[in-house]
A and B are shown apart, each in its own frame.
Chain A
C-alpha cells in the first residue's frame, strides 16, 4: 500500500473544505557522518504525508530512525536528500512561529524551574503573557496537581515525562511531535495517559506524530500507523486504523483489535529480521 494513495488528495476546488497537508516528507534520507570516513544511513527514501488534524503513529524496531523522522519534522535535522515541508513551509518556520509542540524522549526540563515554570516556559519564550488557567488545566490534566512547586529532581521519571507533555501542549500547537513520551511510565499510568491524550486530541484535533514501541498504544491513539523497517529506516507499511473513537476497553478487548495488534507485531518482527 502506498503512503500517498491512502490520503485524500488536496481538493482542487477551493470552496470545498479540503484537508490540508500538514506534514510532507518526500524521498528523505538521512546519512550521519561518524568520522574516519564512516557513515551511517539512518533513513532511506522516506515518504510520508500527514493531513491536518490527523494522528499518526510511527512504530518500528529500535534504531530504525523513527526519532530521526521526528527530528526532521521538528527542523532539528535536515534530510541529506529529499524534502520536508510543514504546512507548506520549511520545518523551522513552524518553530519560529511558536506553533510546534515536542515532547522528547529525554524530558529536557529546566532543573532550576518548578513544574509550573517549566510548563509556562513556551509562553515566556514566545513572549506571550502566561495563561495561568491554561497552565493549571495542563497540570491537572497530567495529574500533577499538588506538585506545582516541585522541582524536576523531586519528581519520578514518569512525572517528569508528564510535565514535558504538558509543556508541549502549552501553546495549543498546530503540530505535536511525541517521541516515546510514555516510555518511562508504568502500564497503568501509561494507559491513563493514552486515554487522556486521546481525549485532548479529540478536543483540539492537533496534528500529531507519535513515535512508539507499543503497538497497542499506536492502535488506541492513531488514525494511521506507519510501520518502519530496521536500519536504514524506511516505510514498510501504512495501516489505517478505523476503530470508532473513543477507543475504550470494549474496543481494545475486541477480536478485531487483537487481530490488528498481531498483524502489526508480525510486521515489526519481520522488519526486525530484515535489519539483522
Chain B
C-alpha cells in the first residue's frame, strides 16, 4: 500500500512533464502547424514507443560516447590540475592551454577536431572529452587549493613528502569537487556528443536527428530530441547519485 502511495507521489512530481506536453500540443493546435512543421507530442511518443528498437543503437552509441568523453575529459582535467598543483613550471603551460581550449566555442572547434583526429567516432569522442575537461580541471584545482591549513601542518610535522601530501590528503580533498564537475558536465557531454554526431557523425542520436529531418520524418526527428532529453536527465541523475556516494564516504 505504502509502495503504491509513494509511486503515486512520484507520479505527481512528474507534473511539469505533463504540463510541458500539454503546452506543446496546444501550441501546435493553436498555430495550426502541420506535422512537417511541428508534430503533436502524442505522435512523437507513439513513434518512440513503437520504433524503440530503431532508437536503441543510436542511444547506446551516444551514451557510450558521452560517458567515454566524460570519463576521459574528467581524468585529463584531474591529471592536469595535479600537474599544475605540483609544479609552477607546468602550471605555466597547462593553465593557458586549458583557458584557450575553454574560450573557443566547441561548435567552432568540432570541424577542426575532425580534421585532426579523423571524422566519425574519434571526432565525437574528442569533442565530448574537450567539453568535460575544463570543469574537471578547475574543480580539482580548487579542491587541491582548499586543503585545510591544519591538514598541511599535520603532514608537515609528520615529515610527509609532497607525493604523500598529494596522495593521502590532496586527492581525497579534491575528489568531492571532481564529482561536482562530473555532475555538471554530464549533460553537456551528451550535448557535445550529439552536436558532433549531428555535424559530422554517422551514428548516434545526433546523426539520427539529422537523417530523419532530411527525410522529413518529423516524428522521428522530434522523437530523437525527446529521447536525448531523457538520456541527458538520466546521466545527470546517475552522476548525482555517484557524487552523493563519494561525498558520504569522504567527508
Interface residues of A (CB under 8 A from B): 74-76, 95-98, 100-102, 104, 106-108, 110-112, 121-122, 124-126, 153, 177
Contact = CB atoms under 8 A, between A and B. Distances in A.
Contacts of A112: 172, 249-251
B148 interface: yes
A125 B160 contact: yes
Contacts, number: 57
A77 to B, nearest CB: 10
Contacts of B169: 110
A134 B159 CA distance: 20
A106 B150 contact: yes
Contact of A76 (B151, B157, B172): B157
A74 B155 CA distance: 12
A108 B156 contact: no
Contacts of A101: 157
Q: Which of B158, B164, B251 has the most CB of A within 10 A?
A: B158
Given A108-B150, A108-B151, A112-B249, A95 B157 contact: yes
A234 to B, nearest CB: 24
Interface string B74-89: 0000000000000000
A75 B249 contact: no
Contacts of B154: 102, 104, 108
Contacts of A74: 153, 156-157
Q: Which of B154, B249, B250 has the most CB of A within 10 A?
A: B154
A98 B156 contact: no
13 contacts: A74-B157, A76-B153, A76-B156, A76-B157, A95-B158, A97-B159, A102-B157, A104-B153, A108-B148, A110-B168, A110-B172, A111-B251, A125-B158
B158 A121 contact: yes
Nearest to B149: A106
B168 A124 contact: yes
A225 B123 CA distance: 72
Interface size of B as a range: 10 to 19
B150 A96 contact: no
A59 B248 CA distance: 40
Nearest to B153: A76
Interface string B139-176: 00000000010110111111110001000110010000
Q: Which of A74, A75, A101, A110 has the most CB of B within 10 A?
A: A110
A125 B156 contact: no
Interface string B220-251: 00000000000000000000000000000111
A121 B158 CA distance: 9
Contacts of A100: 157-159
Contact of B157 (A75, A106, A111): A75
A122 B168 CA distance: 12
Contacts of A111: 250-251
Q: Which of A104, A124, A125 has the most CB of B within 10 A?
A: A125
B195 to A, nearest CB: 38
Contacts of A96: 159
A110 to B, nearest CB: 7
Contacts of A76: 153, 156-157
A125 B155 CA distance: 8
A122 B250 contact: no
